[in-house]
Amino acid sequence: MTQPPIPPGREPGGPTGPTGAHRMPGAETLADLLKTQRQLGQVTQEIRDMRDRMARRTHQMQLLQRVSEILAATSKGGQVASVILEVLAQEYGCPRGAAWTLEDGGAEFGPREGHGLERSAWSAMRLPAPNPFLDQPLLLFQGQWLDRAHLPEPLRALAAQPDSGLYFVPFEYQLLLLGFAVIEIPKDRNLESEDLDSIAILQRQTAVTLYNAWLFRDLQDQRNTLQSQAVELERVNSALREADRLKSEFLALTSHELRTPLTGILGFTRLVLDGLYEGEEDMKQMLQDSYASGQHLLNLLNDILDLAKIESGRLEVQALPCPLQAVVDEVRPVAEAYPRRPGVALVWPDNLAEMPEVLGDAGRIKQVLLNLISNALKFTKDGSVSLQVERGIGVVVLRVVDTGIGVSPEAQQRLFQKFVQAEGGHSREYGGTGLGLVICKHLVEMMGGTIGLYSEGQGTGTTMTITVPIA
């Protein structure tokens, strides 16, 4: 069946045709306007979003710049941790957090700063190194969320809110975990990509700063060590120079001391051999003087030999019970024969029978007492030299008290050193090698006792005190 012809002016699908609807004038223009408006709204929203991102990025860049400036001026690990934790807490609204740094020994991570916690709480959060989270499958050098179910016991206090998350911020430099922070992120705070980028930059800045702080501290320690070694070396060199000077003085003094009695021995012996004496008594006196010179020479040589044994560790002392009265009875006749100035009295104790036995080497105790009494007589021009004995707690105390020239406070500190006498100017006047007190100190200490000196100064006399254990 054929279609009727289309009337003129009509088009198939026209406004009144069977395939189209009637369109209002301007409809197409309105549709275009609506479409343009939607596109404009989308562009406007995109511009707002872009502005927001730019504002956040600008804020983050300013923050990173400010943090970078602060870290550049910081050389202590504790200060670095405090700055970073404060920035993270303020920037991301963290109610709680803590920061750790690697201890110097490398055995554990020590807490350096806490946020939102009492100091007593965060300061106890010590964690092992190199892996502080042994029960968590995580990459130590990458920021990530921690599994609350497998938190180490010290970190439980950080997870106070049930729905919050704990974010791990490592400070890694050249595959070395120098420290880290753990911050609590509220459930309504999402970390976007820009936030994670900022945290990553902070991580790197902090790690470099911690490494530089470690280098600075290490260099400081090395410098302090070198300075201490330099001071110690200078002290040792000074001591060596002083020892060399004293040894030179000692050699000069000893040669004089040895030559004097030797000259006397040779002189008196020659006089006797040449018959240059007036009678038998005169000859006996010469021989007696020669014997005294020989005895003095023997004492000097014994001091030198004893010192050599002390320094080589070969000096032996036998600590046995011995009666003090018997020792003093042997000392008395020898000491009475020592030369002394007219009018100088030698006073002996009268309470020896009351004293208990002492534990020591009787021969060495005698040697010490004779040395102290000899020194006292040598340096006393008038007055007296007395030996005093009293019982102490577990010891017997012996004192040699004289009214001699005394010892200045400065010289008292040097008297127990080798080759030293109280006053250098007295060495020629009084003689001696300066070894006696050194030997006495070693002998008394080897017997378990002590020795000390007291003097108020020059011209006030001296008191030498030794203690010997009771047997």
Identify whether residues 285 and 336 lie together within a single domain: no
Q: Which residue has the higher pLDDT, 396 or 83?
A: 396
Question: Confidence class of residue 424 from pLDDT cuts 50, 70 and 90?
Answer: very low
Taking CA atoms, 167 is separated from 193, 238, 435, in Å, by 14, 60, 74
Does a structural domain hold residue 3?
Answer: no
Identify whether residues 266 and 407 lie together within a single domain: no
Overall domain count for the chain: 3
Q: pTM above the 0.85 mark?
A: no
Mean pLDDT along residues 7-20: 47
Say what the pLDDT of residue 14 is. 47
Percent of all residues in the chain with a pLDDT value above 70, rounded to a whole number: 85
Identify whether residues 89 and 165 lie together within a single domain: yes
| Domain assignment of residue 375, given as a range | 317-469
Contact 85, 199 (CB under 8 A): no
Give the domain-ending residue among 308, 326, 354. Answer: 308
Question: Confidence class of residue 149 from pLDDT cuts 50, 70 and 90?
Answer: confident
For the chain, the average pLDDT equals 81
Question: Confidence class of residue 17 from pLDDT cuts 50, 70 and 90?
Answer: very low
Q: Which residue has 């902070």 as its token pair?
A: 202
Give the domain-ending residue among 282, 308, 334. Answer: 308
Q: For residues 349 and 313, give the distance between their C-alpha atoms in angstroms, rounded to a whole number.
A: 35
Give the domain-ending residue among 187, 221, 255. Answer: 221
Which residue type does 281 have? Answer: E
